């Protein structure tokens, strides 16, 4: 099952949890646990369903609605109303149908405003948290194991991942490269390079287009933080955003980024990108 098929199926999943044990949804739910983008979409879908249900419960039918519907049904048996009569009844403020229709319109209008708000998942902090989760928790850590940077770059290009990036010298393909992976984030392809460095343990570097984030980290100014107990460093350069994740609490990311020069994925030398 792919992400598109899972979304189609999960659109019918009830937000109250009644379907949690239904084997019909098992594969789609399992995929949502492994796929950060699908998980974020499913959370928004469940929130939408909850808001819609709550809104409908707030609509109260007028006390005289049943009597009016029955009376109208008896009337229609003897004389079918014209389209003009039906329309006038619909827009009449005394008609219970009008009030119900107005309430439904207000609910839909409110939900439309909610759905048009910028997705919280597009913020860099949320991206960082989900990439760290993918790096630490996913059993499927690498798409391909390969120590040759040229072949890794070719594979990323073939699978529509980001493949034009500048790397700190310590992460040049000649030392420690283990493989790569392509992830999805809000419809964008994210490249991940995996390194085993003797001095700093296991390192993952995520590369994304800076346009994905309204709050991308500063250009050439690494920001050091921690997410999920893992040390992180993030910066922007030449339209790309970099997120480095250390897989041990003592991983010295600052030391890795103190190189005098950087190298591109194509092994061309570049000037120093930033100072610490």
Residue pair 89/97 in contact (Cβ under 8 Å)? The answer is: yes
Q: At what angle do helices 96-116 and 36-58 cross, to 10 degrees?
A: 160
pLDDT at 272 over 70: no
Q: For residues 231 and 248, give the distance between their C-alpha atoms in angstroms, rounded to a whole number.
A: 8
**Does the global pTM surpass 0.85?**
no
Going by C-alpha positions, the residue among 210, 205, 176 that lies closest to residue 192 is 205
Closest CA to 36 of 225, 189, 173, 158: 189
**Domains of the chain, each with CATH number or no CATH:** 3-58 (no CATH), 65-116 (no CATH), 120-270 (3.40.1000)
| pLDDT at residue 158, as a whole number | 92
pLDDT at position 119 over 60: no
Lookup: tokens for 217 = 């980290």
SS3 state of residue 258:
coil
The three-class DSSP label of residue 180 is strand
Greater model confidence, 197 or 35: 35
75 phi, psi to nearest 5 deg: -70, -40
Query: What pLDDT is attached to residue 270?
Result: 38
Token pair in block for residue 1: 């099952």
Q: What is the pLDDT of residues 47-70, one digit of tens each?
A: 877 776 766 666 666 667 677 777
Q: Are 44 and 119 in contact (CB under 8 A)?
A: yes
Radius of gyration (C-alpha) of the chain in whole angstroms: 27
- Judged by DSSP in three states, 22 sits in coil
């Amino acid at each position: 099952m792919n992400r598109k098929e899972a979304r189609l199926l999960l659109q019918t999943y009830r937000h109250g949890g009644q379907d949690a044990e239904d084997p019909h949804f098992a594969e789609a739910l399992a995929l949502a646990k492994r796929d950060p983008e699908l998980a974020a979409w499913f959370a928004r879908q469940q929130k939408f369903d909850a808001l819609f249900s709550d809104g409908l419960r707030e609509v109260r039918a007028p006390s005289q609605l049943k009597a009016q519907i029955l009376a109208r049904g008896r009337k229609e048996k003897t004389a079918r109303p014209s389209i003009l009569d039906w329309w006038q009844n619909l827009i009449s403020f005394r008609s219970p149908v009008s009030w119900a229709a107005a309430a439904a319109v207000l609910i839909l209008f409110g939900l439309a405003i909610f759905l048009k708000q910028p997705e919280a998942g597009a913020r860099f902090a949320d991206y960082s948290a989900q990439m760290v989760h993918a790096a630490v928790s996913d059993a499927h850590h690498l798409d391909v194991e390969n120590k040759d940077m040229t072949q890794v770059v070719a594979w990323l290009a073939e699978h529509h991942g980001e493949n034009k990036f500048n790397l700190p010298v310590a992460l040049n393909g000649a030392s420690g490269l283990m493989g790569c992976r392509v992830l999805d984030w809000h419809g964008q392809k994210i490249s991940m390079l995996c390194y085993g460095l003797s001095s700093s343990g296991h390192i993952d570097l995520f590369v994304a287009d800076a346009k994905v984030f309204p709050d991308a980290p500063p250009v050439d100014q690494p920001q050091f933080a921690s997410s999920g107990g893992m040390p992180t460093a993030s910066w922007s350069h030449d339209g790309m955003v970099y997120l480095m994740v250390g897989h041990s609490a003592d991983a010295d990311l600052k030391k890795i980024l103190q190189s005098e020069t950087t190298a591109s994925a194509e092994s061309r030398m570049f000037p120093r990108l930033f100072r610490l």
